[in-house]
Amino acid sequence: MAAKTNPTVRRRRLGAELRRLRVASGLKSTEVAERLMVSQPKISHLENGNRAISPRDVRDLCDIYEVMDEHLIDSLMEMARESAQRGWWHPYGDLSDRVYIGLETDAASLHTHAPTMVPDLLQTPAYAQAVIGETVPRLTAEQAATQLKVRLRRQHRIYDPAFPLRLWVVLDESALRRVIGSPDVMHEQLEHLKALSAEPNITVQVLPYTAGAHPGLSGQFSVLRFADSPGAAVVYVARFTSDLYLDKPSDVRHYNAMYDHLQAQALTPVSSREFITHLAGAYADAAIHA
């Protein structure tokens, strides 16, 4: 089962709660930093969940914000202790996407728009290896092997019988037609995708070229929701550097509306499976004649 004390998720939620308390107190982050005798960027990092915070710092901040509820203080301090724990990905080193992996590990549902390639969680080892090897410049063989291990380890999340991830993918047709690796790799990948799309917790919809312009043309994004906070969500916007994590309700509503439009414009799950089956057959023929 996914860890209920996921350090990344706890850190972000703790940061959001500390930001709420600061705003309620009427203090600016610069004023808080001055009173704690730390830099203002440190306060920002804590509130954004980008770094761990000690229980002592939590209590000091609660004193500054004049929080009198001991139950709330104890709860925040416990979140601080949990946020200092290490996730399963920690032994793999300083991964650039460790924040996202932490969120994905604890998510109850994930809605993703994939415009250029099959999403990480649905990739075969051969497809994933080809993607990693060709998309990251100056990657050493050791680094590539580590990234592949991490990606395949992340896929455990969709097979967990006790806490299955509800995964919904809107996959652009271009992601299916772009030959990554070889026709044989693509055939295996599409057969794998077709099989996974039949699982009860996984839905795949293909967005065909005939759909024309659509809200997803701006790029890839995902919306993650969590079982213990059904009203909260995080939008992840992938970039080559400096990925975006958005949790403001207005941002979440905007991306939810975009996703609703994408789902409406895409083929139905049944028609999508037929589309994938047809392309898989074409790749099988291409592999034979290669």
What percent of the chain stands above pLDDT 90? 50
- Whether residues 96 and 79 fall in one domain: no
Rounded Cα gap, residues 233 and 109, in angstroms: 10
**Per-residue pLDDT band at 36 (split at 50, 70, 90):** confident
CA distances from 290 to 180, 281, 287 (A): 15, 14, 5
What is the model's pLDDT at position 163?
83
Per-residue pLDDT, averaged over 206-229, amounts to 89
Cα–Cα distance between 239 and 98 in angstroms, integer?
14
Residues with Cβ within 8 Å of 90's Cβ and at least 6 positions away in sequence, in order, are none
Read off the pLDDT of residues 155-182 as tens digits, 9 standing for 90 and up.
998 988 888 899 999 999 999 999 999 9
Give the whole-angstrom CA distance, residue 96 versus residue 140.
15
Give the separation between CA 119 and CA 200, rounded to whole angstroms: 18
Last residue of a domain, one of 83, 98, 133: 83
Same domain? 60 vs 95: no
Output the pLDDT for position 284: 94
pLDDT bucket at 2, cuts 50 / 70 / 90: very low
- Whole-model pTM: value is 0.78
Query: Between the CA of residue 250 and those of 2, 3, 289, what are the distances in Å?
Result: 28, 29, 52
Report yes or no on 162 lying in a domain: yes
Average pLDDT over residues 148-153: 94
Segment 106-116, tens digit of pLDDT: 889 999 999 99
Mark whether 181 and 94 lie in a shared domain: yes
**Averaged over 79-88, what is the pLDDT?**
74
Give the per-residue pLDDT at 230.
Answer: 64
Q: Which of 83, 112, 144 is the last residue of a domain?
A: 83
- Which DSSP symbol is given to 91? G
Asked whether residue 73 falls in the same domain as residue 197, the answer is no
- Domain containing 229 — which CATH number? 3.30.870
- Residue 82 tokens read as 């949990």
* Full domain range(s) for residue 269: 90-288
78 plus 95 within the same structural domain: no
Total number of domains in the chain: 2
